[in-house]
């Protein structure tokens, strides 16, 4: 089965079809139908100045793990700009060899780019691809059920913008024969880890999410986005890694304290199993997230702690469900607490305890409850 047949066939069951293929109505008229452009990619293995054939908004840079992060500069009508450092991440899926990669926002009028040293690059265009028609619910809410026997109110709800809501091209999850490129695996949740994209945002945050998704799924070859949850500067919460067709984000079925099985993603290499990754859109190397983003982050973490039964203030021993390796850490962590990385940015990392961990832990102690999904 070729990719085009698959796109207009099997993915239609998920409410997605190409604009060039046959339309598939959403299963519910109330769910509505939306459209989003497919991300266009123009890869290059050339050293030196690269001038893509079409306009581009992002550049993906990939090197072997352990290689220096390097620098990048852009060409505009005024000539070549100054070099700026790449914020490189080493990691990915635990079942693949790690790579060092970075995603960089290009100036609006960029005509070319140059990366110092040898690297595999790809220029991404988020606006001009063919339209994908997307059906199904645009949002879903997750909250902890209130417990009448407790003095404290359970947190929530968190309203997620679904994958269909932000325009996920679900064909990226499959090969040409319709096989899932990243078969979901679920484990009882042990950790929550916070990240940043290290990428300047635009005024179209759904497009920003689509860019990160394409970068992970296609350019790095993972088959899906590496985060479970993403949050934009306005506080909007986005569903990340695909976790099934049951309408429950992050988890396999409705999570309950002590029995909340999260899908394995690709956000902390070597510690991905049983670890939920929550990522803020933006670069917080030199500045802090917006108040709206921080408030949403705190709410998301409170709800995740409540529905999983995790104590956000606890020190834990993480047990890798795949290898059995045991590593001490904290239930609620920053990416850099597990690996040598700048994530979630120096400015944010320095204030993380006050801005996030203490606020999550202060929510009436450890409040738990079965999830309510609607």
Q: How far is it, in rounded angstroms, from Cα 14 to Cα 7?
A: 10
Taking Cα atoms as reference points, which of 52, 126, 111 lies closest to residue 78? 111
The predicted structure's pLDDT at residue 46 = 80
Query: What is the per-residue DSSP string for 6-74?
Result: HHHTGGGGGTEEETTS-----SSGGG-EEEEEPPEEEEE--SEEE--SS--SEEEEEEETTS---EEEE
The predicted structure's pLDDT at residue 14 = 36
For 8-23, the pLDDT digits (tens) are: 333 333 333 333 332 3
SS3 of residue 192 by DSSP = strand
The predicted structure's pLDDT at residue 24 = 31
The pair of three-digit structure tokens given for residue 108, joined into one six-digit string? 């609006």
Q: Which residues of the chain have pLDDT under 70?
A: 1-32, 146-153, 363-371
The pair of three-digit structure tokens given for residue 341, joined into one six-digit string? 């990385």
The predicted structure's pLDDT at residue 9 = 32
Q: How far is it, in rounded angstroms, from Cα 321 to Cα 303?
A: 24
Q: Which residues pair with 73 in a beta bridge?
A: 114
Predicted structure pTM score: 0.90
End-to-end CA distance of the chain: 36
Domain 135-373 grouped into CATH 3.40.1390.20:
no
SS3 of residue 209 by DSSP = helix
The predicted structure's pLDDT at residue 156 = 75
For 281-318, the pLDDT digits (tens) are: 999 999 999 999 999 999 999 999 999 999 999 999 99
The predicted structure's pLDDT at residue 77 = 96
Centre a 10 Å sphere on the Cβ of residue 111 and count the other Cβ atoms it contains.
15
Q: Where are the domains of the chain?
A: 40-125, 135-373
The predicted structure's pLDDT at residue 13 = 34
Whether the CB-CB separation of 255 and 371 falls below 8 Å is answered with: yes
């Amino acid at each position: 089965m070729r990719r085009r047949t698959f796109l207009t066939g099997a993915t239609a069951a998920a409410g997605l079809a190409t604009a060039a293929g046959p339309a598939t109505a959403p299963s519910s008229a109330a769910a509505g139908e939306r459209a989003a452009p497919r991300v266009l990619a123009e890869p290059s293995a050339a050293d030196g100045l690269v001038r893509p054939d079409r306009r581009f908004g992002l550049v993906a840079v990939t090197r072997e793990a352990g290689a220096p992060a390097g620098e990048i500069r852009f060409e505009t009508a005024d000539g070549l700009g100054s070099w700026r450092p790449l914020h490189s991440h080493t990691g990915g899926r635990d079942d693949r060899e790690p790579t060092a990669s970075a995603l960089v926002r290009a100036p609006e009028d960029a005509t070319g780019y140059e990366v110092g040293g040898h690297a595999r690059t790809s220029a991404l265009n988020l606006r001009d691809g063919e339209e994908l028609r997307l059906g199904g619910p645009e949002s879903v809410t997750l909250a902890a059920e209130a417990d009448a026997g407790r003095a404290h109110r359970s947190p929530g709800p968190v309203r997620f913008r679904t994958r269909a809501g932000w325009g996920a091209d679900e064909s990226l999850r499959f090969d040409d024969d319709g096989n899932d490129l990243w078969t979901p695996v679920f484990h009882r949740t042990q950790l929550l880890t916070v990240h940043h994209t290290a990428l300047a945002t635009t005024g179209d945050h759904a497009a920003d999410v689509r860019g990160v998704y394409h970068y992970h799924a296609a350019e790095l070859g993972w088959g899906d986005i590496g985060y479970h949850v993403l949050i934009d500067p306005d506080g909007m919460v986005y569903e990340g890694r695909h976790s099934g067709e049951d309408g429950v984000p992050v988890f396999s079925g409705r999570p309950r304290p002590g029995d909340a099985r999260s899908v394995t993603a690709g956000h902390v290499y070597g510690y991905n199993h049983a670890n939920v990754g929550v990522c803020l859109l933006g670069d917080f190397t030199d500045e802090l997230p917006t108040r709206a983003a921080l408030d949403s982050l705190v709410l998301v973490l409170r709800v995740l702690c409540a529905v999983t039964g995790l104590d956000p203030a606890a020190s834990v021993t993480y047990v890798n469900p795949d290898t059995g390796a045991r590593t001490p850490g904290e239930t609620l962590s920053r990416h850099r607490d597990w690996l040598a990385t700048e994530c979630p940015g120096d400015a944010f990392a320095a204030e993380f305890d006050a801005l996030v961990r203490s606020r999550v832990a202060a929510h009436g102690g450890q409040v738990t409850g079965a999830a309510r999904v609607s």
